[in-house]
Structure 1
Amino acid sequence: MTVALAGCGSSGGSSDVTLTFVAADYDVAGGESSKKYWADLTAAFEAENPGIKIDVRIESWNDVDRKVAEMVKADKAPDIAQIGAYADYAASGKLYTADQLLSIPVQSNFLGPLVDAGEQKRVQYGLPFVASTRLLFYNKKLFKEAGIKGEPTTWEELREDAEKLAQNTDVTYPFALPLGPEEAQAETMMWLLSGGDGYVDPVGRYAIDSTQNISTLEWVKTNLVEKELTGPVAPGKLNRKDAFAAFTRGEVGMLNGHPSLMKAAAKANIDLGKVAMPGRTGKPKAAMGVADWIMGFKQNGHKVEIGKFLDFVFDDKNVLDFAGQNDLLPVTISASEAMQKDPEHQDLKEFLQELPTSILPPVGKTSWAAVSESVKQNIGKAVAPEGDPQTVLRQISQKATTAENAE
């Protein structure tokens, strides 16, 4: 499938229009499932809308954001992109708003946290495509060997369970803490939320060095890292993919995981348990949610046709088909309710329950990319033996505030 790099000219109607569409490849095994999904969906759409054609180009996640950026820079923006971020395009006035594209029933069907994350200055530009939450995963076999009978519901219980794992099993990582540069911003956010705060304050401004956040990382450093419960690799050098691989080898007692790890663990015959990430004294403020985005570009003037296609994309059947085949969560209320009732997806039940109250990273800020990178590169230092959480968080926060003020 190829993409035409320019549209067929502006059109206010719905005849003789070709929409260019760049989408990400979700098939981690290198197969054709994403290509087949979009081929089937666009064929069905074109059959119902004979005046509109969809040219689809599937790109790997390693390349798709960069390639769309190159197209936009060359004044050859696609009509639709399904990628990881929308904020820069929204801020530069290149995107249609959600209410310019979608019918009212479709727009009102998105889950609340995903709508909030798709907004820039209270206007929605990013349309959530698929979503996920994070839970605490644990190895049931190792828990049994360590004599642990329940699941941790507080930080203190988590520490006690990690100590039992260290003392009574040969586990390599009682609690794997991946604060390496691959995905440290996500692991950090899970802990900040479980400590009662997060990256931003209630009005949406960065508050990375809040008292609660400092206290959270001090607890992690003192109770997990300094007690040698996080394994032989320093958290600042442990990447998520390596932690996940170690979990599938049976070397990890506990870690924060997402749905795709379930399938890998099952293939490796790991008996996996999952529970909401414990809070300081009980249930945390919220789970961390994440989403990938789909958006409509203004350049070719195909607002009506883009809207028709996106209304079709967000039909429950299409939403459920894609989420189900990729072990991800649907982004609409109706599809989420349908998945919860489906026995085939009972392994996603705990994730689905957390999503409606989850909190996503501040992806609507154009500064977030730089702030996220700063967290990735520096947060591991906060829990290092010579590290100081307050100093590290303050340095990251100062850079974040400067970037935010420049938006």
Structure 2
Amino acid sequence: MRKSVFNFIGLVAAIAISMVGCHNLPLLTTQNLPSVTTVKLSGWGASPAEQKLLKGVLREFEVQHPKIRVKYEQIADQYMDVMKTRLVGEAAPDIFYLDALEAPFLMSQDVLEPLDSYIKPEFDLADFEPTLLNTFKYKNRIYGLPKDYSTLALFYNKQAFKNAGLENPPQTWEELRAYAKKLTIDTNKDGRIDQYGFGETPELARQVYKIKAYGGKVIDRESRAVFASQSSLQGLQLVVDQYRNERSSAQKSDVGTNSGSEMFGQGKAAMVIEGNWAIPYLRETYPKLDFATTEIPTVNGQRGTMLFTVAYVMNKQSQHKPEAWQLIEYLTGKEGMFEWTKTGFALPSRHSVATRLGYDQDTLRSSLVAGVNYGVPWQVGKYPAAIMNNFDNQFISALLGQQPLAQAMQRAQNQANQLIKVLD
């Protein structure tokens, strides 16, 4: 019966369970330890520093829970395909990472264990940021507990601002565009722009708050695409006009970089909109860069940003549910979350932990923390790939002037809905 759940992916089982390009990172040995239960935890790849940090947190859990051992597995590639294949084959780990983007589908398929009955008052569920927690609810049941999050904020080069005579960061999108014009410079007068005012990332994951600012939506209640509406187009037109008409923004491929953070770090864009992940990257890679952050300027008078979050979820077929819950409880509890987020790789999803770490007062992170109160969770229904891929392809086409924006978005919407009709 469970196999029919995933027919839409053309039997992802084509990715044989045995070909998972993953790395097992065993912790303490279970040999000669009586009555020890091994709990399997899977997640995707991260930096060596993050992996080391996680292993340290898991070891501390084992010290505090001597009858439980954790076998952590890092899945290197095609994480969700691998996980869906394992769920079909009833070979999934006890606990695994679940991105908010993928959560709506899995929560609707009866493959995740509801966590409500495990949560006790002392766990202090109210301490979680409500928007993050609600992202992993389905039909009033909790299927995941958010381990961390990031929002987006405006990063700006303080020296570039000083050179342009700009003292304070922009507060509105109109101001951002005006600033970007002043910050777009051909330094050596060779006819080629050396520094763009703004680095644009033309992906749906970075545009939803602009769509929402004008009353637009990405999907309807049936997970069908509706982003071609006039309201949605108003927000997207801001991006196209700045890029094509004002020539004060660039995307990463225009300047030979791999990301917005790299574009900013190399001085090829004086402003970018990025997440918490950019802070350690910029500090490590470009230690001389003098930069600051501020909340994203208002669009049409509306505050907006994106919310990216990941939860720990429990496999409904787990044979070790009590032990699995103890691990989830520790990792998302106040102490475990403090240990995981204290280095600044991610922001804690518990309000008390963020306060304890001082992130709400941090000069670089406070703008990101503020966004949790009004950010839009990065979720686009049960079939995110259909929505996201079609939008991104056509939006970039419009950005490059290959077709009008309205035509591009209508085409993307039609293609997305045709695919969703097949999948649903």
- When normalised by structure 1's length, the TM-score is 0.83
- 1:282-293 equivalences under 5 Å are 282=301, 284-293=302-311
- 1:110-149 equivalences under 5 Å are 110-149=128-167
- 1:151-162 equivalences under 5 Å are 151-162=169-180
Q: Which residue of 2 aligns with 1:74?
A: 89
Alpha carbons 2:243, 2:249 under 8 Å: kept:
yes
**Identity of paired residues, percent?**
19
Per-residue CA deviation, residues 248-287 of structure 1 (Å, 9 max, x unaligned), is 11111111111222233334122112222222344x3421
* Ranges in structure 2 where 5+ consecutive residues have no aligned partner: 1-22, 27-34, 188-192
Q: Quick one: which amino acid aligns to residue 262 of structure 1?
A: I
Q: Quick one: which amino acid aligns to residue 306 of structure 1?
A: A
Equivalent of 1:178, from 180, 201, 208?
Answer: 201
Distance 2:90 2:40 in 1: 13
Q: Which residue of 2 aligns with 1:332?
A: 350
Q: Secondary structure at the match of 2:258?
A: helix
Shift of 1:196: 5.2
Q: Secondary structure at the match of 1:250?
A: coil
Q: Which residue of 2 aligns with 1:381?
A: 397
Q: Quick one: which amino acid aligns to residue 247 of structure 1?
A: F
Q: Which residue of 2 aligns with 1:165?
A: 183
Q: Secondary structure at the match of 1:108?
A: helix
Residue 112 (structure 2) pairs with residue 95 (structure 1): yes
Shift of 1:81: 0.7
Per-residue CA deviation, residues 151-189 of structure 1 (Å, 9 max, x unaligned), is 21122211111111125866432211122xxxx122222
- Structure of higher RCO (CA pairs closer than 8 Å, 6+ residues apart): 1
Q: Secondary structure at the match of 2:42?
A: strand
Alpha carbons 2:255, 2:268 under 8 Å: kept:
no
Q: Quick one: which amino acid aligns to residue 64 of structure 2?
A: E
Equivalent of 1:52, from 27, 43, 68?
Answer: 68
Residue 74 (structure 2) pairs with residue 41 (structure 1): no
Distance 2:360 2:133 in 1: 25
Distance 1:230 1:301 in 2: 53
Of 162-171 and 368-377, the range deviating more from structure 2? 162-171
Per-residue CA deviation, residues 222-267 of structure 1 (Å, 9 max, x unaligned), is 2442221124x6x887898333212111111111111222233334
Equivalent of 2:322, from 304, 308, 317?
Answer: 304
Distance 1:2 1:273 in 2: 39
Query: For residues 100 and 205 of structure 1, do their structure 2 counterparts lie closer, same or farther at Cα, with a shift above 3 Å needed?
Result: farther
Q: Secondary structure at the match of 1:334?
A: helix
Query: For residues 166 and 54 of structure 1, do their structure 2 counterparts lie closer, same or farther at Cα, with a shift above 3 Å needed?
Result: closer
Distance 2:221 2:306 in 1: 16
Residue 46 (structure 2) pairs with residue 26 (structure 1): yes
Distance 2:254 2:220 in 1: 29
Q: Quick one: which amino acid aligns to residue 354 of structure 1?
A: G
Q: Which residue of 2 aligns with 1:216?
A: 235
Alpha carbons 1:110, 1:331 under 8 Å: kept:
yes
Q: Which residue of 2 aligns with 1:241?
A: 258
Shift of 1:325: 2.4
Residue 273 (structure 2) pairs with residue 256 (structure 1): yes
Shift of 1:102: 3.1
- 1:345-360 equivalences under 5 Å are 345-360=362-377
Report the RMSD for the aligned CA atoms in angstroms.
3.1
Of 107-116 and 127-136, the range deviating more from structure 2? 107-116
Q: Quick one: which amino acid aligns to residue 179 of structure 2?
A: D
Shift of 1:297: 0.1
Distance 2:213 2:375 in 1: 11
Q: Secondary structure at the match of 2:131?
A: helix
Q: Secondary structure at the match of 1:57?
A: strand
Query: For residues 198 and 253 of structure 1, do their structure 2 counterparts lie closer, same or farther at Cα, with a shift above 3 Å needed?
Result: farther
Of 397-406 and 299-308, the range deviating more from structure 2? 397-406
Distance 1:261 1:158 in 2: 20
Shift of 1:290: 0.5
Shift of 1:119: 2.4
Q: Quick one: which amino acid aligns to residue 139 of structure 1?
A: N
Of 392-401 and 310-319, the range deviating more from structure 2? 392-401
Shift of 1:402: 5.0
Q: Quick one: which amino acid aligns to residue 98 of structure 1?
A: L
Query: For residues 209 and 262 of structure 1, do their structure 2 counterparts lie closer, same or farther at Cα, with a shift above 3 Å needed?
Result: same
Q: Which residue of 1 aligns with 2:17?
A: none
Alpha carbons 2:359, 2:365 under 8 Å: kept:
no
Query: For residues 395 and 320 of structure 1, do their structure 2 counterparts lie closer, same or farther at Cα, with a shift above 3 Å needed?
Result: farther
- When normalised by structure 2's length, the TM-score is 0.80
Q: Quick one: which amino acid aligns to residue 186 of structure 1?
A: A
Shift of 1:291: 0.7
Q: Secondary structure at the match of 1:347?
A: coil
Aligned length in residues? 384
